[in-house]
Amino acid sequence: MYTLWLVGGIVILLLVKKLFDQKTEKRKKDAASSSSATQESDDSSSSGWDYEVFLSFRGEDTRTNFTDHLYNALLDKGIHTFRDNEALRIGEKIRPALLSAIQQSKIAIIIFSKDYASSKWCLDELAEIAESMKERGQGQIKVMPVFYNVDPSEVRNQTGRYGNAFREHEKKSDQDQEILKQWKKALEKVGELKGCDLKNTANGHEGELIKLIVNEVWNELRKNPLSVPNSMFGIHSHVEKMMKLLNNASEDRPIVGIHGLGGIGKTTIARELGELTDFVLPPMIG
């Protein structure tokens, strides 16, 4: 049994090393052919996805409670999730790195809390997400609105707190009217989508709502798996060998640890394993 685990681990390590070497080589070529500014632009438009989920939320409302619990629940499920760090914000303009994170995410979860619309930063994120919905065509971002103690009609029609927030924005003399229109249009568009309502979907139970969201994200990712890059073609034969080693007659439960830097293909390898058998891997390491 120990021998089987050892051989399986070696195969996985070899695959990960190959992916890591390819990624390192690509980075070297990018650095040699472009400046850091150009490289950032290239990264945001490259093929594939950097994140599986992008979280948009107002930190003062939900950062240390609902959003934090949701973020960790997604990570526990092995879902690569982007959560903005407010400490890194500079001014009120949405920074290029954040735009790139939105553009390179498969799913956007927008947590509409009571004061979400009072934040220009949140509204800029929302406008970018709404724009991504129409730009990508078949590969468009999947948007999942969460109405956290907010009625969907408040978001859609800008009434209640959302209406008050917009009146405050309109009072500011330096506020660009065109941007206001973009924000309103984005709220209308996303507010019309079917989402999760804390009060009506989970009877006010946050833990239950988080379970429902994570399950929906998981099912969506399984339905539309991350595209496998050309560099991974031919991996199937290696995976088949792994499955033969793991699918033994022993009653012991085999455990495979996949360790390495983020973005080198650990999750993709585990989906490849899942496509070939009903065998389920335990949570991955690293």
3-class DSSP state of 82: strand
Q: How far apart are CA 39 and CA 30, in angstroms?
A: 7
Flag whether pLDDT at 258 surpasses 70. Answer: no
pLDDT of residue 284: 43
3.40.50.1820, 3.50.50.60, 3.40.50.10140, 3.40.1440.10: CATH of 49-223: 3.40.50.10140
Q: Of 30-34, 106-110, 237-241, give the range with the top mean pLDDT.
A: 106-110
Marked catalytic residue, from 125, 128, 131, 154: 125
Residue 255: phi and psi, rounded to 5, are -125, 130
Amino acid at 46: S
- Is residue 125 part of the annotated active site? The answer reads yes
pLDDT of residue 101: 86
Flag whether pLDDT at 286 surpasses 70. Answer: no
Under a CB-based contact definition with an 8 Å cutoff, are residues 86 and 63 in contact?
Answer: yes
| Annotated domain spans of the chain | 2-41+235-276, 49-223
Q: How far apart are CA 159 and CA 260, in angstroms?
A: 48
Flag whether pLDDT at 51 surpasses 80. Answer: yes
Q: How far apart are CA 283 and CA 101, in angstroms?
A: 25
Flag whether pLDDT at 208 surpasses 80. Answer: yes
What pTM, to 2 d.p., does this model score? 0.62
- Pick from 198, 184, 183, 265: nearest CA to 228: 265
Q: Which of 107-121, 130-144, 177-191 has the lowest mean pLDDT?
A: 130-144
pLDDT of residue 255: 65
